Chains A and B, each alone.
Chain A
Amino acid sequence: MSTHLHNQLHNPSLLAVRDLCVEFATRKGPVTAVRAVNLQVAKGETLGIVGESGSGKSVTSYAVMRILDRAGRIVSGGIEFGGMQLHGADEATMSDLRGREISMIFQNPRAALNPIRPVGKQIEDVLIRHAQATHDQAKAKAIEALEKVRIRDAAKRYHAYPFELSGGMCQRVVIAIALACRPQLLIADEPTTGLDVTTQKAVMELVRELTRSEGMSTLLITHDLGLAGEYCDRIVVMEKGEVVEQQDTKGLFTAPAHPYTRRLIRSTPHSAATIRDLLPDDLRTPLPPAVAVSEEPLLEVKDLVKVFEAPSSFIQRLRGRRESGYRAVDGISFSIARGESVGLVGESGCGKSTTSAMVMRLLDSSSGSIRFKGHELTAVSAAQFARTPQRRELQMVFQDPHESLNPRATAAQSIADPLRRLEGMTDGAAIRARVEELAAQVGLPLELLDRLPHQLSGGQKARVGIARAISTKPELLILDEPTAALDVSVQAVVLNLLADLKAQSGMSYLFVSHDLEVVRLLCDRVIVMRAGSIVEEGPTAQVLSNPQAEYTRELLSAIPRPAHLPGHGAQAALVVGAGAA
């Protein structure tokens, strides 16, 4: 008997949502965000709600808490919690329940805490509000709560302000606030989005342990099917405000019923998938034959260093206390061969983006050499580099497709920019023809070319960014987390586009990412960075299946691996896609 059925039989559901509809008032009239949603959470159960952006998963949880913002309202449906009808409850009842019976933790933990109140006081506020402590005991109990979420030096941290704590630490404080009164249900709304993968693991393990030990139920809201698969008993899949499927986790992964679920599972990268596996069947074409990787190095980086000088105030200088700079990149060396694609992997702050900015000549290096096709790139300063012939051979696709497009330029103007400046094209008709050719190459419908960025979807903007980057036929393309801001289904399409382009043109890629699963799909070789240094480097298959460095092992083990996804525990039998290989 599965745990799910067991729960259903012996524990009536703690939370039951029936036919919930939520509307938002907008300038163009009411918009339905959630339509006829039904779900139950049993006592002690962990339920995941998975969906892409705009699926209504967060709105559902806010409706349960009755903390929708002013524009939103529950149109119809019922929310029953432990026998109480929440949808009709007055605000006083709700605020008694919140924090005591149902708690919530959020994305972006630092912003979720009051910036000018010591974290200990914020825990005290909840304890005192729900009569879990008197004013005299509150401090001791708050410190206890901090200890419970494994904050070292809790008595000292009690006085800390959020800006003095790391993101992971802040999330622990948010969890401490949420669990301070031992609620029956914890709603976790994307609790680890924006955190590093190792921090994510630590936070999720902590939540699991604390909720299990107290017998709490959890509602985990996430865009990451892998995360839900690892931590949830049952999963609800939402699309465009509706529940399309709910099943216990194993059933969902092994026998997904709804086509959307199948597509979602398929586009989530995992260790056994090749890059084409991510696409729906009807889009899957055979990969064009890959260009052979030549022996000849295209790019050679040697002892590259970047030191950021700490700004010192006048008074500090008077005291002679000049802080030594921060070494963001601390003497790294690597090379990329012609036609090769190399992954540069690490967590935030490891120096990977600084490295790519220096190679791309957007940032001057402090010392070291960058040789590209025999030219020493550091000989010309970053500010002057636009005038060198190498500029058109080195291009980049940026992390955030929206932010990297000029809000005032149409798609065609953005793509045409390098053609005008670097290729010296002046004839309008010729430029237009070339822009259309590029658009076709990246699969951007021609009728979208005259739109402004805010009129395009995330995937379309990503295509514009790629078309612009390849317009000068560069030999080295740096991809700086090109899919980090995209939904998984869009990510799947963009990754395949990148693989196709590489196979067609024989470009080399430097693929900067925090996501080892994505790197696995696209890269021949991988470089792992930590704190400004390279900790491990080698062929992707080898590094991922048999990591040498402790840190690489840590990274790999932190990736959520749902038990039922194909390829779990099959690391020895890795079918490494290695991108276009």
Chain B
Amino acid sequence: MTDITVNTLAAAPRSSAWSRGYAHFRYVMTSNPVTLLAFVMLAAMILIAVFGPLLVPHDPLATAADKALKPPSLQHWFGTDQLGRDVFSRVIVATRLDLLISVSAVALSFFVGVAMGACAGYWGGWFDKLSGRLLDTIMAFPLFVLAMGIVAAAGNTIQNIVIATAIINLPFYARVARAEVSIRRNAGFVQAARLSGNTELRILIEKILPNTLPPMMVQLSLNMGWAILNAAGLSFIGLGVRPPTAEWGIMVAEGANYIVSGEWWLALFPGAALMLAVFTFNLLGDGLRDLVDPQRRT
């Protein structure tokens, strides 16, 4: 009898931390239907990216001259393109590549940017000046134009698209991180942590950075959408991804030539997919912030 009580007591904190986390997730989801919608759409997108290529009805690369430029039908839901390829299959298959490019670009700039901004904001000094100068120089270019220049110079590959997108996103993360760390550098709880014997590095990583998460999350999701748009824009003008690879931007570019003659489905469906993806990430921002913000817990 006593043993049981002791056991449940000992187990209580762990299970309650889990269930509290789950309860908070449910609370955030149910309190805001938009957030719920965004998370459902994200989940669907991830599923499509992972399993899409296995499920598509047609080979996205298989051409058939006799079936070129057919409007949407039961057999080809989104119609066929100028080479007779199934647009639906191509749109689905492209999800993985588009997400991969934007996620890796944003992840790269998020980690580099946060590290850079946090150090600059916390210690200031020469590193702050140097990184500030670097970011200013990046920001002095119209960002999409800079990305064009980088890809043109470094070579027309997907890897370079990722790097160029990461570079032009870097200032956003670095600046938010710098500002958020800098306003907390001498906050009461940080001073208290110094008095408690924490080293500076531990204070930065354990005390300050977690508190900067809510605004960073909003930035993260907004930039994810922007990164997708940028990567698609680059492939729209013929950089990065090359035909016949299925990718939304290049599909819209190929379809663009047929708009004036009324074959709308070539450009519309990949464009709509692109829009939906960006829309999802833009909606996600507030929900993510609510999830990581302890103040929202009740």
A and B touch in their complex, CB below 8 angstroms? yes
Q: A386-B199, A408-B210 are in contact. Are A452 and B192 (CB under 8 A)?
A: no
A537 to B1, CA, bound (A): 65
B196 cross-chain contacts in A, Cβ below 8 A = 417-418, 421-422, 468
A417 to B191, CA, bound (A): 13
Instruction: Determine, out of A72-80, A395-403, A509-517, the stretch whose residues face the partner at the interface.
Output: A395-403
Q: Does B59 contact A (CB under 8 A)?
A: no
A404 cross-chain contacts in B, Cβ below 8 A = 187-189, 191-192
Most buried by B among A391, A417, A454: A417
Q: Does A407 contact B (CB under 8 A)?
A: yes
Are A403's CB and B195's CB within 8 A?
A: no
A406 cross-chain contacts in B, Cβ below 8 A = 189, 192-193, 207, 211
Q: Does B198 contact A (CB under 8 A)?
A: yes
Q: Contact mask B122-143 → A, CB, 8 Å, 1/0?
A: 0000000000000000000000
A564 to B267, CA, bound (A): 84
A468 cross-chain contacts in B, Cβ below 8 A = 192, 196
Q: Does A180 contact B (CB under 8 A)?
A: no
Q: How near does chain B come to A22, taking the closest CB pair, in angstroms?
A: 25
Q: How near does chain B come to A118, taking the closest CB pair, in angstroms?
A: 30
Partner of A418, one of B191, B197, B294: B197
Q: Contact mask B183-218 → A, CB, 8 Å, 1/0?
A: 000011101111111111000000100110000000
Q: Does A182 contact B (CB under 8 A)?
A: no
How many residues of chain A get a CB closer than 8 Å to chain B's CBs?
29
A418 to B295, CA, bound (A): 24
Q: Contact mask B76-108 → A, CB, 8 Å, 1/0?
A: 000000000000000000000000000000000
| Interface of chain B: mostly helix, strand, loop or mixed | helix
Partner of A391, one of B187, B189, B195, B297: B195
Q: How near does chain B come to A418, taking the closest CB pair, in angstroms?
A: 4
B294 cross-chain contacts in A, Cβ below 8 A = 407-408, 452, 454
Q: Does A220 contact B (CB under 8 A)?
A: no
B210 cross-chain contacts in A, Cβ below 8 A = 408
B199 cross-chain contacts in A, Cβ below 8 A = 386
Most buried by B among A403, A465, A468: A403
Q: How near does chain A come to B127, taking the closest CB pair, in angstroms?
A: 15
Are B297's CB and A465's CB within 8 A?
A: no
Q: How near does chain A come to B149, taking the closest CB pair, in angstroms?
A: 29
Q: Give the residue name and chain of the B residue nearest to A386 (CB).
A: B197
Q: A399-B188, A408-B211 are in contact. Are A362 and B197 (CB under 8 A)?
A: no
Q: A406-B207, A406-B211, A454-B295 are in contact. Are A417 and B193 (CB under 8 A)?
A: yes
Q: Contact mask A413-441 → B, CB, 8 Å, 1/0?
A: 01001100110000000000000000000
Partner of A421, one of B188, B189, B191, B197: B197
A403 to B197, CA, bound (A): 19
Q: Give the residue name and chain of the A residue nearest to B208 (CB).
A: A406
Are A407's CB and B295's CB within 8 A?
A: yes
B211 cross-chain contacts in A, Cβ below 8 A = 406-408
Q: Give the residue name and chain of the A residue nearest to B199 (CB).
A: A386
A396 cross-chain contacts in B, Cβ below 8 A = 191-192, 195
B297 cross-chain contacts in A, Cβ below 8 A = 452, 455
A400 to B191, CA, bound (A): 12
A454 cross-chain contacts in B, Cβ below 8 A = 294-295
A418 to B200, CA, bound (A): 14
Q: Does A572 contact B (CB under 8 A)?
A: no
A344 cross-chain contacts in B, Cβ below 8 A = none
Are A403's CB and B198's CB within 8 A?
A: no
Interface residues of A in 222-263 (CB under 8 A from B): none
Are B192's CB and A398's CB within 8 A?
A: yes
A360 to B195, CA, bound (A): 8
| Interface of chain A: mostly helix, strand, loop or mixed | mixed
Q: Give the residue name and chain of the B residue nearest to A357 (CB).
A: B191
Partner of B192, one of A383, A407, A465: A465
Q: Does A392 contact B (CB under 8 A)?
A: yes
A353 to B153, CA, bound (A): 55
Q: Give the residue name and chain of the A residue nearest to B189 (CB).
A: A406
Q: How near does chain B come to A314, taking the closest CB pair, in angstroms?
A: 12
Q: A403-B187, A452-B297 are in contact. Are A391 and B197 (CB under 8 A)?
A: yes
Are B197's CB and A422's CB within 8 A?
A: yes
Partner of A417, one of B188, B198, B200, B295: B198
Interface residues of A in 356-414 (CB under 8 A from B): 360, 362, 383, 386, 391-392, 394-396, 398-400, 403-408, 414
Q: How near does chain B come to A416, taking the closest CB pair, in angstroms?
A: 9
Q: A406-B207, A407-B211 are in contact. Are A418 and B195 (CB under 8 A)?
A: yes
Q: How near does chain A come to B237, taking the closest CB pair, in angstroms?
A: 40
Are B198's CB and A398's CB within 8 A?
A: no
Q: Give the residue name and chain of the B residue nearest to A401 (CB).
A: B188
A398 to B191, CA, bound (A): 9
B200 cross-chain contacts in A, Cβ below 8 A = 383
B197 cross-chain contacts in A, Cβ below 8 A = 386, 391-392, 418, 421-422
Partner of A395, one of B195, B198, B295: B195
Are B195's CB and A405's CB within 8 A?
A: no
Are B192's CB and A386's CB within 8 A?
A: no
A417 cross-chain contacts in B, Cβ below 8 A = 192-193, 196, 198
A414 cross-chain contacts in B, Cβ below 8 A = 189, 192
B198 cross-chain contacts in A, Cβ below 8 A = 386, 417, 421
Q: Give the residue name and chain of the A residue nearest to B190 (CB).
A: A406
Q: Give the residue name and chain of the B residue nearest to A402 (CB).
A: B188
Q: Give the residue name and chain of the B residue nearest to A398 (CB).
A: B188
A398 to B211, CA, bound (A): 19
A383 to B200, CA, bound (A): 8
A362 cross-chain contacts in B, Cβ below 8 A = 191, 194-195
A421 to B195, CA, bound (A): 10
Q: A406-B207, A408-B210, A408-B211 are in contact. Are A400 and B188 (CB under 8 A)?
A: yes
A96 to B239, CA, bound (A): 64
Q: Give the residue name and chain of the A residue nearest to B17 (CB).
A: A450
A403 cross-chain contacts in B, Cβ below 8 A = 187-189
Q: Give the residue name and chain of the A residue nearest to B186 (CB).
A: A362
Q: Give the residue name and chain of the A residue nearest to B203 (CB).
A: A386
Partner of A386, one of B187, B189, B194, B295: B194
Q: Give the residue name and chain of the A residue nearest to B188 (CB).
A: A404
A406 to B184, CA, bound (A): 10
Are A405's CB and B189's CB within 8 A?
A: yes
A526 to B297, CA, bound (A): 44
A274 to B192, CA, bound (A): 31
Q: How near does chain B come to A410, taking the closest CB pair, in angstroms?
A: 10
A454 to B193, CA, bound (A): 18
Interface residues of B in 208-236 (CB under 8 A from A): 210-211
A154 to B176, CA, bound (A): 43
A386 to B196, CA, bound (A): 8
Q: How near does chain B come to A312, taking the closest CB pair, in angstroms?
A: 14
A392 cross-chain contacts in B, Cβ below 8 A = 197
Q: How near does chain A come to B292, taking the closest CB pair, in angstroms?
A: 9
A540 to B173, CA, bound (A): 53
Q: Give the residue name and chain of the A residue nearest to B187 (CB).
A: A403
B295 cross-chain contacts in A, Cβ below 8 A = 407, 452, 454
Q: How near does chain B come to A543, taking the closest CB pair, in angstroms?
A: 30
A407 cross-chain contacts in B, Cβ below 8 A = 189, 211, 294-295
Q: How near does chain A come to B84, taking the closest CB pair, in angstroms?
A: 55
A399 cross-chain contacts in B, Cβ below 8 A = 188
Q: How near does chain B come to A117, taking the closest CB pair, in angstroms?
A: 28
Q: How near does chain A come to B60, taking the closest CB pair, in angstroms?
A: 46
A407 to B187, CA, bound (A): 11
Q: Give the residue name and chain of the A residue nearest to B213 (CB).
A: A408
With contacts A407-B211, A414-B192 known, what are 12 further pairs, Cβ within 8 A? A386-B194, A398-B188, A406-B211, A407-B295, A408-B210, A408-B294, A414-B189, A418-B197, A421-B196, A421-B197, A452-B294, A452-B297
Q: Can you name 8 A-B pairs with beta carbons within 8 Å?
A: A362-B195, A386-B194, A391-B197, A395-B195, A396-B191, A398-B192, A399-B188, A421-B197
Lowest 4 A-B CB distances belong to which pairs?
A404-B188, A421-B197, A418-B196, A422-B197
